[in-house]
Amino acid sequence: MGRNGTVMLNLGGLIDVDKYRYVYLMVFLLLFVLILCSNCIIICLIWIHRNLHEPMYIFIAALSLNTLLFSTVIYPKLLVDVLSHQQRISYSACLVQVFFFYSFGASDIMLLLAMSYDRYVSICRPLQYASTMSTTTVSVFLALSWFVPACLMSVTVVVQSKQKICSLSFEGLFCTAKMTKIHCMVPTFLTVWTSITLLCIAVFPVLFIFFTYFKIFMVAYRSDGEVRKKVVDTCLPHLLVLMATVCLIAFDVILGLLESVLPKSAQLILSLQTVVYNPLFNPIIYGVKMKEIRKHIKKMLCCNRVRISKTQVE
């Protein structure tokens, strides 16, 4: 128990904190700054340049914003834990972290679903694109991408908050589904609801995405080189990001299933995978692979070089 009767949980995910404290601090701080800067650049470029005010780029900006929110839920607490002698979190804060971790993670998949549908209409039904992907349609997709996961996860978190606690510690860098191990029992309703949630925000959307891309590649296979080039330029980055997101889900599931047999170092590495490469991977892929975004990044870098040169001359 903490002050004022607050239930405090001990996190045991870090290894030899006292020995590697400043290594952890520098690595986490560097990663957090890189994630913030890279995703903010993508958002700002799409916001500023009117030729990027298209559904595809709006979804990319939303994905970067979602990544910023996801990372902000995790990294500040990690930095505090590294600087603390005890890695602890209140039970209520842990539930909040679980809610946002999975809500924003699921929103990534929902936004990728919206992107896949956008590319499907653009390539398979180009004459209907303007009417189908209207401002209203894009707004609905964006709203649902955040609203549906939040609603589903709110039920999960509320049910978890009602459960009796039998342990005050668990192995983890931050609060995920692993924290259910502190409960004396997991009710059948929660197990069923978790399965339904996983189907709604992960399995079915991913299957739909793969189906749309299968249709896109079939059209590209029967079309000329121009259509194939469009598919490679606009669909390949989305597929790469999708695979990274699927890996994030896989790592979290593996941690939950194999925690008892995995060494602590392996658990640490897998936990870091869920919050490191995916938030960094997204802006890098879109900055390198998306032609229009890459063009604006080059212009921005060239302008900065010119300004620096002028300042040095003066």
User: 67-87: per-residue pLDDT in tens?
Assistant: 999 999 889 988 888 888 777
Mean pLDDT score of the chain: 81
Q: Domain extents for the chain? A: 3-313
Cα–Cα distance, 173 to 191 (Å, whole number): 23
- pLDDT tens profile 117-141: 998 888 888 888 888 889 999 999 9
- pLDDT at residue 152, rounded to an integer: 92
* Helices and strands (H, E) in the chain, number of each type: 11, 3
CATH number for domain 3-313, candidates 1.20.1070.10, 2.40.10.220, 1.10.3720.10, 1.20.200.10: 1.20.1070.10
Cα–Cα distance, 274 to 30 (Å, whole number): 16
What is this structure's pTM?
0.86
Strand partners, 165: 183
pLDDT for residue 54 is more than 80: yes
- Check the CA dihedral 131-49-242-264 and report its sign: negative
- pLDDT tens profile 249-266: 777 777 666 666 667 777
* Least confident interval from 86-95, 144-153, 252-261, 302-311: 302-311
